[in-house]
């Protein structure tokens, strides 16, 4: 028998070995449970995102000293988010009761729990109506069709009474590409034409026998095989989307267009329209938005399964031309391709791109997750760390709008945050003769500047707390009352403290990033008051990461890749929209999703009947967060000023005008490379404007004669608004 000393020596040898990490799948589970993205973890461990991905899929293992740090982090997460074993869950869980619209479903087990808040229907919250696509979706078979069409796929008809679900599935006659989720073999959506052809992603065409809206809804849920898997383990699957062409709308009994004055004004069918009455008679429900361009038709949940279908009517302007350029006029198969790529890279469309931007935040950061009650052993709905929760949160008075109840009821008169994008033009009196004699004015546009600002942005997750005479802390998100009027900067640059670029005249409310930038410039700041949030987190990180990937990948598909030099990049950008109009439309929709989503964080009341001080529907969302919107815009404006300031230091150039994320410079040549800063090696200098395809880098917006720009400036107009030509007006973000 071994002695005590020998046993201790053996144990010490084990302790001296390298730390043992949990299996790769468990590493990913712990990170997701903590609400941390792979990019954020990589930043903390001073590694790359791909390295973290390799650790989580078992392709590689960390080495010291990251190994010890990674194990310490995983051990901490494991203590907070222990794995749920099969024996820990109830042996025979009872089916959950069907929640009423707006209620949060209570989970059976953590993997199937879905606790996202009510989806936003266009400009208003829609009821939470759980649904699940039929898991027994039919196999695909050829059914002929015209030569110009993709191969048609025949969906199964409803099973005869008494027959099992599996008995109605026809035998597959053709091999098809494996679906990413077997529950949704035909992808997230389909575009229905007037002849019953439902065009899906990857060129498939389904036969849809429906002749009424009710039949269409039931076919979609039972036979179509449409839908998309949730984007977060605590989220919910995306409801299937059916897009109706004008011919399909007429076939289903809908008007080709909303013709009546009342219909056009309300953007919905009247409650006594035959189709609306037909839907109600079949025990289906519409959201409060009614039957409009984006209609959500649902029934109460059956257990934990949702029953909900989203409809979009093309001829009712469901796809806005500004966000989806040219898509409404495309053939159904092309519309399906555009929306399918967007759904796969961003989210299944649920309304305007602004609505999609907001919905994506919630889909990636669900407000609730399954929590096991230690006393009863039952699974209940609990707060998901890192999310905004389910309950709406009133802002601090300076963060609100003038019509908000917290302002009207309190009689607040202390001023408001004015964190908006730049709209600034340099005074013509400050132009030099040398600048006026330059031949060109060149406009640079920052790629998705708001998205770049959202990266690693710490925002408040709890309610605002008022402080008097606080010491400024740049790490705490909030609103600060501080006097920055003593700060004198070069008048040839816009002030970083106001959207119009003018110098402040006294105390005003600023978001944390604006005040921190004043400190960065070397000035003392002494806040008089502040509204701060104790609980903080990088809520927008997953949103940023997904949209950045979607933007960069779509640009790459259009021939604009990261490996291009500046000359090649400019050439590729000049023609990228002609490479593939469908993907160009996807790119435009992604950009609109970013700006619209940020704008929705402070959605204003709508309608002529609204009275100041009343609550409006958007206030009932936990995502009505004007402070988060202010943080994004403040950081974007500060980023812009930092680049402007660095350009002066590196090149001596001053801008003529700035509008949101576009800046116009006088230039000796008709290209950005003629004035941008480059090192002796030819590489772009960091700190200033740099050309490239990723968020935050710049692209050419337009070129005009310098005399043209000066003429506009003398008229008090902004050259950045028109530099693109065709009297272009830039989207200012909301």
User: What's the pLDDT score for residue 343?
Assistant: 97
Contacts of 497 (CB under 8 A, 6+ apart): 484, 487, 503, 504, 508, 510, 514, 518
Cα 570 to chain centroid distance, Å, stands at 27
Residue closest to 401 by CA, chosen among 604, 596, 598:
604
Cα 127 to chain centroid distance, Å, stands at 21
Query: pLDDT per residue over 684-721, tens digit each?
Result: 999 999 999 999 999 999 999 999 999 999 999 999 99
If you average pLDDT over each of 38-42, 267-271, 418-422, which comes out highest? 418-422
Phi and psi dihedrals of 284, rounded to 5?
-100, 160
DSSP for 23-54 reads PHHHHHHHHHHTT--HHHHHHHTT--HHHHHH
User: Do 351 and 122 touch, CB atoms closer than 8 A?
Assistant: yes
Rounded-to-integer distance, Cα 189 and Cα 179, Å: 14
Sign of torsion over alpha carbons 604, 608, 610, 612: positive
In this structure, the dihedral spanned by the alpha carbons of residues 667, 672, 678 and 682, taken in order and rounded to 10 degrees, is -130
Rg (CA), the chain: 28
Cα 229 to chain centroid distance, Å, stands at 17
Rounded-to-integer distance, Cα 632 and Cα 643, Å: 17
Rounded-to-integer distance, Cα 272 and Cα 590, Å: 37
C-alpha to C-alpha distances, 75 to 22, 53, 406, nearest whole angstrom: 9, 19, 44
Mean of per-residue pLDDT scores for the chain? 85
Residue 145's pLDDT band (cuts 50, 70, 90): very low
In this structure, the dihedral spanned by the alpha carbons of residues 114, 118, 119 and 121, taken in order and rounded to 10 degrees, is 160
> Would you give the DSSP letter of residue 125?
E
Rounded-to-integer distance, Cα 60 and Cα 52, Å: 9
Q: Which residue has the tokens 């009341």?
A: 605
The structure's pTM equals 0.78
User: What's the pLDDT score for residue 381?
Assistant: 87
User: What's the pLDDT score for residue 79?
Assistant: 86
Residue 63's pLDDT band (cuts 50, 70, 90): confident
Residue 18: other Cβ atoms inside 10 A? 12
User: What's the pLDDT score for residue 131?
Assistant: 34
Q: Which two tokens stand for residue 293?
A: 């361009």
Query: pLDDT per residue over 392-410, tens digit each?
Result: 999 999 999 999 999 999 9
Query: pLDDT per residue over 636-672, tens digit each?
Result: 999 999 999 999 999 999 999 999 999 999 999 999 9
Rounded-to-integer distance, Cα 550 and Cα 530, Å: 37
Phi and psi dihedrals of 466, rounded to 5?
-85, 135
Residue 567: other Cβ atoms inside 10 A? 11
Rounded-to-integer distance, Cα 193 and Cα 206, Å: 11
Q: Which residue has the tokens 């002929």?
A: 144
Residue 694: other Cβ atoms inside 10 A? 15
Rounded-to-integer distance, Cα 649 and Cα 656, Å: 16
Residue closest to 554 by CA, chosen among 581, 517, 515:
581
Query: Quick one: how many helices (H) and strands (E) in the chain?
Result: 21, 23
Beta bridge partners of 198: 192, 206
Using alpha carbons only, give the angle 212, 218, 223 rounded to the nearest 5 degrees. 120
The structural architecture, per CATH, of the domain 18-80 is Orthogonal Bundle (1.10)
Rounded-to-integer distance, Cα 99 and Cα 368, Å: 15
User: What's the pLDDT score for residue 147?
Assistant: 34
C-alpha to C-alpha distances, 177 to 154, 186, 197, 345, nearest whole angstrom: 16, 10, 20, 19
User: Do 130 and 139 touch, CB atoms closer than 8 A?
Assistant: no
Domain ranges of the chain: 18-80, 110-159+180-368
Query: pLDDT per residue over 472-519, tens digit each?
Result: 999 999 999 999 999 999 999 999 999 999 999 999 999 999 999 999
C-alpha to C-alpha distances, 112 to 29, 84, 106, 238, nearest whole angstrom: 14, 13, 10, 14
Asked if the model's pLDDT at residue 154 lies above 70, the reply is no
């Amino acid at each position: 028998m071994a002695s005590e000393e020998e046993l201790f020596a053996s144990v010490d040898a084990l302790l001296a070995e390298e730390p043992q990490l949990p299996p790769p799948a468990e590493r990913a589970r712990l990170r997701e449970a903590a609400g941390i993205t792979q990019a954020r973890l990589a930043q903390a461990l001073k590694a790359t995102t791909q390295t973290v991905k390799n650790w989580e899929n078992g392709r590689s293992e960390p080495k010291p000293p990251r190994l010890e740090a990674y194990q310490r982090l995983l051990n901490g997460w494991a203590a907070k988010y222990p794995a749920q074993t099969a024996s820990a869950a109830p042996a025979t869980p009872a089916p959950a009761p069907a929640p009423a619209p707006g209620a949060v479903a209570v989970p059976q087990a953590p993997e199937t729990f879905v606790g996202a808040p009510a989806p936003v229907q266009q400009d208003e919250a829609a009821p939470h109506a759980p649904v699940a696509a039929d898991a027994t979706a039919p196999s695909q078979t050829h059914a002929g069709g015209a030569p110009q069409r993709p191969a048609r796929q025949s969906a199964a008809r409803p099973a005869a009474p008494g027959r099992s679900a599996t008995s109605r599935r026809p035998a597959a006659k053709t091999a098809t590409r494996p679906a990413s989720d077997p529950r949704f073999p035909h992808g997230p959506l389909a575009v229905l034409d007037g002849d019953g052809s439902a065009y899906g992603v990857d060129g498939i065409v389904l036969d849809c026998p429906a002749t009424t809206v009710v039949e269409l809804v039931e076919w979609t849920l039972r036979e179509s095989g449409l839908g998309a898997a949730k984007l977060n383990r605590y989220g919910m699957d995306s409801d299937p989307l059916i897009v109706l062409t004008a011919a399909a709308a007429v076939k289903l009994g809908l008007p080709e267009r909303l013709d009546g004055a009342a219909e056009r004004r309300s953007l919905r069918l009247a409650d006594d329209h035959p189709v609306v009455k037909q839907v109600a008679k079949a025990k289906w429900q519409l959201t409060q938005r009614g039957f409009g361009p984006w209609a959500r038709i649902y029934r109460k949940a059956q257990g934990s399964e949702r029953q909900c279908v989203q409809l979009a009517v093309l001829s009712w302007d469901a796809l806005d031309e500004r966000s989806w350029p040219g898509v409404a006029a495309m053939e159904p198969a092309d519309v399906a391709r555009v929306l399918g790529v967007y759904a796969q890279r961003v989210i299944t469309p649920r309304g305007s791109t602004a609505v999609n931007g907001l919905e994506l935040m919630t889909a990636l950061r669900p407000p609730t997750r399954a929590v096991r009650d230690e006393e009863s052993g039952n699974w209940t709905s609990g707060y998901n760390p890192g999310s905004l929760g389910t309950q709406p949160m009133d802002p601090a008075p300076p963060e609100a709008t003038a019509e908000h109840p917290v302002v009207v009821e309190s009689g607040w008169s202390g001023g408001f945050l004015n964190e908006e994008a730049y709209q600034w033009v340099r005074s013509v009196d400050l132009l030099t003769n040398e600048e006026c004699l330059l031949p060109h004015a060149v406009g640079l546009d920052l790629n998705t500047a708001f998205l770049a600002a959202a990266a690693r942005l710490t925002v408040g997750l709890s309610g605002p707390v008022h402080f008097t005479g606080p010491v400024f802390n740049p790490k705490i998100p909030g609103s600060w009352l501080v006097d920055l009027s003593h700060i004198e900067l070069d008048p040839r640059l816009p002030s970083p403290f106001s959207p119009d670029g003018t110098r402040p005249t006294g105390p005003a409310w600023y978001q944390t990033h604006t005040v921190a930038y004043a400190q960065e410039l070397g000035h003392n700041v002494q806040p008089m008051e502040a509204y701060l949030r104790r609980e903080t987190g990088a809520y927008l990180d997953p949103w940023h990461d997904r949209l950045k990937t979607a933007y960069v990948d779509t640009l790459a598909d259009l021939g604009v890749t990261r490996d291009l030099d500046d000359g090649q990049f400019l050439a590729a950008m000049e023609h990228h929209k002609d490479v593939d109009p469908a993907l160009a439309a996807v790119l435009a929709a992604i950009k609109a999703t970013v700006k619209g989503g940020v704008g929705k964080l402070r959605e204003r009341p709508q309608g002529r009947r609204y009275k100041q001080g009343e609550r409006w529907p958007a206030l009932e969302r936990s995502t009505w967060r004007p402070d988060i919107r202010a943080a994004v815009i403040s950081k974007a404006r500060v980023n812009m000023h930092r680049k402007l300031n660095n350009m002066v230091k590196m090149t001596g150039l001053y801008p003529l005008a700035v509008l949101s994320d576009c800046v116009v410079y006088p230039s000796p040549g008709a290209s950005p490379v003629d004035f941008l800063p480059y090192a002796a090696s030819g590489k772009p200098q960091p700190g200033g404007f740099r050309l490239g395809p990723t968020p935050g880098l710049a692209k050419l917006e337009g070129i005009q004669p310098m005399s043209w720009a000066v003429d506009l400036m003398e008229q008090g107009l902004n050259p950045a608004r028109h530099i693109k030509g065709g009297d272009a007006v830039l989207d200012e973000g909301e």
